[in-house]
Amino acid sequence: MNSVSPLNRKASLWAVGLMLFALFFGAGNLIFPAYLGQQTGESWFSAMTGFLLTGAGLPLLGVIAIGYSGSRDVQALASRVAPWYGVAFAVALYLSIGPLFAMPRTATVSFEIAVAPFLNESQKTVGLAAFSVAFFGVAYWLSMSPGKLVDRIGKILTPVLLLTIAVLVGYAALNPMGVPAAAQGDFALRPFIKGILEGYGTMDALASLVFSIIVIDAVRAMGVDNRSELLRTTAVSGIVAASCLALVYLFIGYMGATSVAGLGLQENGAEVLSKTANFYFGVPGNILLGVIVLLACLSTAVGLITSCSEYFNRLCPGISYKMFVVINTVVSMALANKGLSSILTFSIPMLMLLYPLTIVIILLVFLHKLFGGSRIVYFCTMMATLAVGLLDAYKAAFGFSEEVAADINGSLPLYNVGLGWLLPATVGFILGCILNAALKKKHKAQITKQRSSER
């Protein structure tokens, strides 16, 4: 075990925590709270409280869950349901947050915010192609040595990212455009619930099961190999990252809430950010915002390429890690040129399937000791959740008729607000516990009968 002094370990913990923050923090983490702030207006704090639960709290739980479970990766954790399920879930998760969606999106979003505003329409197609090559070229270089992620991201990219964010949101907080306006639509009716649902959009709960492996490897490299100490250190790094996320979310949410007076209501968070940056700093403000988004997306792309390549290398050891880096980079670069709208259309059904499954597996990790880690409890709970996830995926891909939608909303509580999985998951958990108790009782009776016959 490497010897690391307490002072150096403390500094390394901060570096790991900042690295984790940068891996989580992509363009969506800027856009969602800005839009939420505008829509909730004077109820922005209530909405942001809900947003923080899912946008920062769930990712923290995901990081801790992997450390607490002692699982080596997502596949091992999901295999508690069944071996086939572990492979299927892990592959679907890595492909969704990897080359099929999240990785291409890092390039398209950063291009649209950082570069596209300075190009005319005829230049954008060629511009995106050139930008994606340069973007993924840098991401490829940073991903070729995963052991250097802490130094390259935690100690270099993240401080620059935080500094540029602080300049924009700090100035806006000290010089608000006006007072928060009235909340809009559903945001006025249930701002806290809407905040929770908007937090899902960051997708960081999905990524937490992936990025936590990077954190655990980095902590082990610091000389920590005791399981309880590993969990504590991982949790501290997660708290650093979640705290940074929460702080940035609050400032951006407030900036959005006070921007209505100067900008009016905007259609999306990207417009809120872009026009806010221009309002305060003019063209240099748009450049500043471009730097923020570019750094955020690049950090996330590197983390995703590294994590996906390491997993698929373990799944298919005949193909090297470096070859998977090449494959993931090239596929992401190609799909990035399809444009953001195409990527979203293709991926949303898969995300609607995976998100409730991810939340429930995280919760089961912390309840593991309560039901003795019984596979039948895992199986019943996850299969019930899977049924609703498949329903959500079908709805996102093809939609429902008004009659079918009304029937589902009437028979499945909370389905109309995106939480239809809650009741089935709870019923599945209770059923699993009942079956587990019955099987234990039957097994105990068989043992007693066998001992009696032996006498």
What is the tens place of the pLDDT at every residue in 263-312? Answer: 888 877 777 888 888 899 888 888 888 888 888 888 888 888 988 998 99
The listed range with the strongest mean pLDDT (28-37, 57-66, 339-348) is 57-66
More confident residue, 304 or 10: 304
| Residue 200: pLDDT over 80 | no
pLDDT of residue 214: 78
- Distances from the Cα of 201 to the Cα of 60, 102, 204, 207, angstroms: 16, 12, 8, 12
**DSSP class of residue 148?**
G
Confidence of residue 448 (pLDDT cuts 50, 70, 90): confident
Residue 377 and residue 433 in contact, taking contact as beta carbons nearer than 8 Å? yes
**Short-list 44, 404, 108, 57, CA closest to 259:** 44
| Residue 341: pLDDT over 70 | no
Q: What percent of the chain has pLDDT over 70?
A: 93
Confidence of residue 344 (pLDDT cuts 50, 70, 90): low
| Residue 52: pLDDT over 90 | yes
Largest CA distance in the chain: 91
pLDDT of residue 435: 95
Confidence of residue 216 (pLDDT cuts 50, 70, 90): confident
| Residue 5: pLDDT over 60 | no
pLDDT of residue 3: 47
- The span from the CA of 306 to the CA of 411, in Å, is 43
- The span from the CA of 309 to the CA of 143, in Å, is 9
| Residue 158: pLDDT over 80 | no
pTM of the model: 0.84
- Distances from the Cα of 8 to the Cα of 4, 13, 194, angstroms: 6, 9, 42
**DSSP class of residue 226?**
-
More confident residue, 234 or 346: 234
| Residue 180: pLDDT over 70 | yes
Looking at every residue in the chain, the average pLDDT score rounds to 85
Look up residue 65 and give its two tokens. Answer: 């869950």
**Short-list 67, 143, 91, CA closest to 362:** 67
Residue 239 and residue 154 in contact, taking contact as beta carbons nearer than 8 Å? no
Instruction: Of 52-56, 62-66, 208-212, 380-384, give the lowest mean pLDDT range.
Output: 208-212
| Residue 446: pLDDT over 80 | no
Residue 181 backbone zone (phi > 0: left; psi -120 to 50: alpha; other: beta): beta
Helices (H) and strands (E) in the chain, counts: 21, 0
Residue 81 and residue 382 in contact, taking contact as beta carbons nearer than 8 Å? yes
| Residue 427: pLDDT over 80 | yes
Confidence of residue 156 (pLDDT cuts 50, 70, 90): low
The listed range with the strongest mean pLDDT (127-131, 392-396, 408-412) is 127-131
**Coil, strand, or helix at residue 413?**
coil
Phi, psi of 448 (to 5 degrees): -60, -45
pLDDT of residue 1: 42
**Short-list 136, 378, 380, 171, CA closest to 281:** 171
Confidence of residue 441 (pLDDT cuts 50, 70, 90): confident
**In this structure, how many other beta carbons lie within 10 angstroms of the beta carbon of residue 435?**
15
Q: Is the dihedral of CA 10, 11, 12, 13 positive or negative?
A: positive
Report the pLDDT averaged over residues 162-186: 84
| Residue 393: pLDDT over 70 | yes
pLDDT of residue 147: 57
